[in-house]
Structure 1
Amino acid sequence: MPSLLRRVKSKMFIFAHRKTLTLLDGEYGSVFKGRSLDFDELRAYVPGDEVRDIDWKATARHGSPLVKRYVAVRRHSVLLVVDTGRGMAADAASGEPKKAIAVDAAGVLGYLAARHGDDVGLLHGSAAASYYLPPRSGEDHLERLLREVDSRTSLDGPASALAEQLDYALRYLKGRLLMVVIADEVVPDERTVGLLRRLRSRHEILWLTVRDADLATGQTSTEVRDGSMLPSAVAGNHRVRKAYEVAQRRREEARRTVFRQLDIAEEQAAGSADVVQSVFALLEKHRSRAGTTRVAKGGYRV
């Protein structure tokens, strides 16, 4: 079987030129900014650098602003939390299987972590069970994680129930983690919100939503979560389609409101072509939120 990681890397390097990959590296590194870092070197100040990192004595000697650069002094642990219930076996907005987009997103994030020397683990499952593969280093391990996501997601599998995986993380996983949740287009229910709020106090949490296919495209459509169907005669009706679009907008706003209230960065991907941009936007949102939180708490401004 062809390597899934090789497929992911090929897409990254075809789409993302050297500058973009550097930007991705920078945004990923900023997730851990301020924790377990050690001084590395001085460099010229550029807009967006943190004011607190300016070395004022060196700046006075040099005549222009210089900032301190830091490097991580220990390895971090990244946990990919992926829904592998049957909801993720359905089509995404791009027409691709959602699990293929989940594999690509997990691969990009895992590859960035590997480039930074961090360990990557996987927590996935459905309503039936949760499965945990502890964080480890190396591309062989990352390939195993991607294959696990790909092979465990099928249309005849158990229903999705991401709250079960979040509950597993809360009960059994210790130590600070960067948790990246990859799931389909759902509005977190009350239980899920409660679990996320508790996990948020222990870990860094990011959320990537894989967009659902449009069920009102004018053709017979099936909702894989419950098997319900939308006949073509109904899907093609102008009033039905308008009502569907209104309901979709309301769901979208409800989901955004939940993540805004939880202070969790969320981004969306409609297809594999969106994955690199979506990961970059997600990491950038997380960095921006972290900076805003520090200012709100009376810390420093970024």
Structure 2
Amino acid sequence: MDSLLRRVKTKLSIHAHRRVRGLIEGEYRSVFHGRSMDFDDLRPYVPGDEFKDIDWKATARHGSPLIKRYIASRKHTLMLVVDTGRDMAALAESGESKRDLAILAAGTAGYIAIRHGDQVGLVTGTAEATHVMPPELTESHLERMLQRIHSSTSLSSGPSDLSRQLEYIARTFRRRMIVMVIADDRQLSPVEQRLVRRLSVQHEILWLMIGDADLMREDWAGRAMYDVADSAALPEFVRDDPHLRAEYASTVLTSATSTEEFFESVTVSSRRVTSGAAVVPGLFRLLEAHKHARR
């Protein structure tokens, strides 16, 4: 079987530039009170600091006590939550398979995490069942996760219902993680919104949406189209109606605005991607937005 991770690496290499490469090769690092081998800078002594952290030479030059401050690398667990219901077997806005875009996004995020020394796990499922692959730190494990997404997402899959997978995360994992959800582009149900609010307190949440295909596109006029959720066909005369097209565009915009406002209200970084070419840059913009978000 062809390696899905190899395809991801190829795409990642094509889109790599200085900013992206720095993130891939860098570390999750943050300054905090504690010790590691990496010296960062000096700061004034305050009561309660360890005397052994005083830099006596710098103190003599400065005239008042200075404390050595260190940088320590913090390792994380990245838990990928991927909708593998039949909704994700549909077409994305670009005409590509949503499943392929989800695999590219999961593979890119997972590969970056592993390069940083972080463990990566996977939660997939439908309204009928949830499947879990515990976090590990190897590329072979990431390859198995991508193959799981590929084999589990088809038109014969059960209906999508992210509340099952979100509920599993909320119930099972107590230790703080980075949770990246890769899902269909739609408004969340009230149950899903409640779970996202709960999870945003427990964990760091990032949400990547795969944009829906516009079944009323003029260049798809001669192509049979149907809804994967119930196999209902979309008649051609409906797709040709300019008023319905305008109403459809307005509905999509309203839905996207509402979803964005919800994620902002719970301080969850989100991004919508519509094509394979947009996945890697979109993912890095999502990571950058998450890095600078107010928490």
User: Structure 2 length as normaliser, TM-score?
Assistant: 0.84
* Superposition deviation, residue 91 in structure 1: 0.5
Q: Is the 8 A contact 1:92 1:211 kept in 2?
A: yes
Coordinate RMSD, CA, aligned: 2.5
- 2-structure distance, mates of 1:34, 1:161: 40
| Alignment partners' CA distance in 2, 1:76 and 1:143 | 19
Task: Tell me whether 15-24 or 185-194 shows the greater mean CA deviation.
Answer: 15-24
1 CA distance for matches of 2:146 and 2:259?
Answer: 27
- The corresponding residue for 2:210 is 210
Alpha-carbon distance between aligned partners in 2 of 1:244 and 1:267, rounded to the nearest angstrom = 21
**Aligned residue for 1:242?**
246
Hey, what does 2:73 align to over in structure 1?
72
Show the 5 A alignment for 1:219-258. 219=221, 220-258=224-262
Q: Please name the residue that 1:298 is paired with.
A: none
C-alpha contact 1:120 1:136 (8 A) present in aligned 2: yes
Partners of 2:70 and 2:263 in 1: CA distance: 31
**3-state SS of 2:195 partner:** helix
Structure-2 residue corresponding to 1:124: 124
Show CA shifts across 1:10-60 (max 9, x none).
11112213552214555x836x776988462449xxxxxxxxxxxxx79x9
**How many Å apart are 1:198 and its aligned residue?**
1.1
Q: Which amino acid aligns with 1:254?
A: S
Match of 2:189 in 1: 189
Q: Is the 8 A contact 2:215 2:239 kept in 1?
A: yes
Please state how far the C-alpha of 1:173 moved relative to its aligned partner.
2.1
5+ residue gaps, structure 2, are 42-57, 63-68
Q: 1:119 to 1:171 in 2, by over 3 A?
A: same
- What letter matches 2:283 in structure 1? V
Kept in 2: contact 1:84–1:124 (CA 8 A): yes
Q: Which amino acid aligns with 1:243?
A: E
Q: Give the alignment's TM-score, normalised by structure 1.
A: 0.82
**Aligned-partner Cα distance in 2 for 1:226–1:187:** 18
Alpha-carbon distance between aligned partners in 2 of 1:164 and 1:208, rounded to the nearest angstrom: 18
Aligned residue runs from structure 1 range 138-217, under 5 A = 138-217=138-217
Instruction: Give the aligned residue type for 2:195.
Output: L
Gaps of 5+ in 1: 44-56, 62-67, 294-302
Preserved CA contact (<8 Å) 1:126 1:164: yes
Q: Deviations over 1:63-120 (max 9, x none)?
A: xxxxx773415x3211000000000000101111101000000000000001100000
1:82 maps to a residue whose letter is V
Aligned AA (2:275): G
What amino acid is aligned across from residue 269 of structure 1 in structure 2? V
State how far apart, in whole Å, the 2-side matches of 1:16 and 1:234 are.
42
Equivalent pair of 2:206/2:269 in contact (CA under 8 Å): yes
Alignment partner of 2:28: what SS?
helix
The structure number with the bigger radius of gyration is: 2
1:110-160: CA deviations, max 9, x gaps? 000011000000001000100011101110000000000011000111000
CA distance in 1, matches of 2:205, 2:170: 13
- Report what 1:46 is aligned to: none
Q: In the alignment, residue 29 of structure 1 is paired with which amino acid?
A: Y
